[in-house]
Amino acid sequence: MYYLGLDVGSVSTNIVLIDEHSNVIEKVYIRTKGSPIDAVQRGFQDLKEKYMDITIDGAGTTGSGRYIAATLIGADAIKNEITSHAVAALEIDRDVRTIIEIGGQDSKIIILKNGIVSDFAMNTVCAAGTGSFIDRQAERLEIPIEEFGGYALGSKVGVRIAGRCAVFAESDMIHKQQLGYSKSDIIRGLCDALVRNYLNNIGKGKEIVPKIFFQGGVAANVGIKSAFENALGTEVIVPENYNVMGAIGAAILGKEAAESEKQSKFKGFALADSEFASNSFECNGCPNRCEVVRINENGKDIGYFGDRCGKWSNKVKAIQ
């Protein structure tokens, strides 16, 4: 039996295929590029070529684009990133107590007690410390992103970098370069600054105790991982599928939902060839004047988003 999970974010769209034991059979990474519909279709095109003949027994979506993705694919579960990341981590190790997750545009911390989320915090305002900011610095320093974190490990003395703001951090790095500091020392200083900023803001007031999982794309950065371990004084574990944990959690939740309903709503991989169109309009039904987005598949309206009262979204549900 196979289950599908989609994590549709602002930077990337991750799709995973798991079996009944939650083993990852396939994972697909696509840049969202501001168009979640196109990203999902591109991902399904890749999967269709390999898995068109298998039956998907359940599907789930998460991420900032989870609702639109659920409408496209016919998801059985739609869950937020906090729940999805926690479910995936607990599937690996029931003793996980803290999850540090840093993605392309946001960061979050999840505190677990007895296998249940007891507290969490997110930072979606500033890009400092996220994957997109680190990508930019690697590009500016002309260092492949895969090697960026390794430079930090080669430093003996980290330079103090301002890490509370992306703009100030970059300015400080440039200033330190002009003073003659090595790239290794500057990158180590940046990693330390970003971790310090994370702990002082997102982690403020949180009880951060082992076992600690580090998830999200930034977990590939060994410099950031080392900085977290130095700051916390304990091991930080990076799971094998660290970069698609949200999608894995969504797939597991989709499995549970489909089993509960005794069937799946999944539409199939054929949607890779569907014609989708989206447009927006202003509803004049009440003083709220909601801006509503309409999604159309092959000439048929399949979803509406943005209405506060449910006038439009419930209309599609009634048809379905």
Domain span at residue 286 reads 276-319
**pLDDT at residue 319, as a whole number:** 43
pLDDT in the model for residue 318? 45
Phi-psi region of 20 (alpha: psi -120 to 50; beta: other; left: phi over 0): alpha
pLDDT in tens, 182-223: 889 888 988 888 898 889 888 999 999 999 999 998 899 999
Q: Are residues 231 and 100 in the same domain?
A: yes
Report the C-alpha gap between 122 and 125 in whole angstroms: 9
pLDDT surpasses 80 at 276:
yes
Q: How far is CA 157 from CA 35, 71, 204, in A?
A: 43, 51, 26
Residues 153 and 221 occupy one common structural domain? yes
Does residue 220 share a domain with residue 153?
yes
Q: Are residues 253 and 226 in the same domain?
A: no
| Residue 199 and residue 180 share a domain | yes
How confident is the model over 15-53, as pLDDT tens digits?
A: 999 999 999 999 999 988 889 999 999 999 999 888 988
pLDDT, residue 317, reads 57
pLDDT, position 242: 94
Query: What is the per-residue DSSP string for 129-161?
Result: TSHHHHHHHHHHTT--HHHHHHHHHT-SSPPP-
> Looking at residue 316, what is its pLDDT?
63
Chain length of the chain: 320
Do residues 222 and 112 share a domain? Answer: yes
- CA 226, CA 158: separation in Å to the nearest integer? 12
Q: pLDDT > 90: what percent of the chain?
A: 57
- In this structure, the answer to whether residues 122 and 10 fall within a common structural domain is no
Query: Are the C-beta atoms of 91 and 23 separated by less than 8 Å?
Result: no
Q: Same domain, yes or no, for 174 and 197?
A: yes
CA gyration radius, the chain: 21
Looking up residue 44, the CATH number of its domain turns out to be 3.30.420.40
**Burial of 296 from C-beta contacts in 10 A (0-12 / 13-18 / 19+):** middle
pLDDT of residue 320: 47
Total number of domains constituting the chain: 3
In this predicted model, which residue has the larger pLDDT, 149 or 126? 149
* 233 in the same domain as 109: yes
Please name which of 94, 93, 91, 96 lies closest in space to residue 21, comparing C-alpha atoms. Answer: 91
**Amino acid at position 214, single letter:** F
What average pLDDT does range 4-15 have in this prediction?
93
Mean pLDDT along residues 219-244: 94
Tell me the C-alpha distance between 264 and 297, whole Å. 20
Are 81 and 55 within one domain?
yes
Tokens of residue 202, six digits: 């997102």
- 95-147 pLDDT, tens per residue? 999 999 998 778 899 999 999 999 999 886 666 667 778 888 888 888 888 88
One domain for residues 219 and 105: yes
Asked if 6 and 266 touch (Cβ cutoff 8 Å), the reply is: no
CB neighbours of residue 13 within 10 Å = 26
168 and 194 co-located in one domain: yes
pLDDT of residue 315: 73
Preceding amide of 211 cis, omega within 30: yes
Residues ≥6 apart with Cβ < 8 Å to 37:
68, 72, 276, 278, 295
- What letter would DSSP give residue 121? E
pLDDT band at 7 (very low <50, low <70, confident <90, very high): very high
The model's pLDDT over 58-77, given as tens digits with 9 standing for 90+, comes to 999 999 899 999 999 999 99
Which residue type sits at 264? S
Report whether 102 contacts 219 (CB < 8 A): yes
Q: Check: CB of residue 145 under 8 Å from CB of residue 215.
A: no
Task: Render pLDDT for 161-186 as a digit per residue (tens, 0 to 9).
Answer: 876 677 777 888 888 888 888 889 88
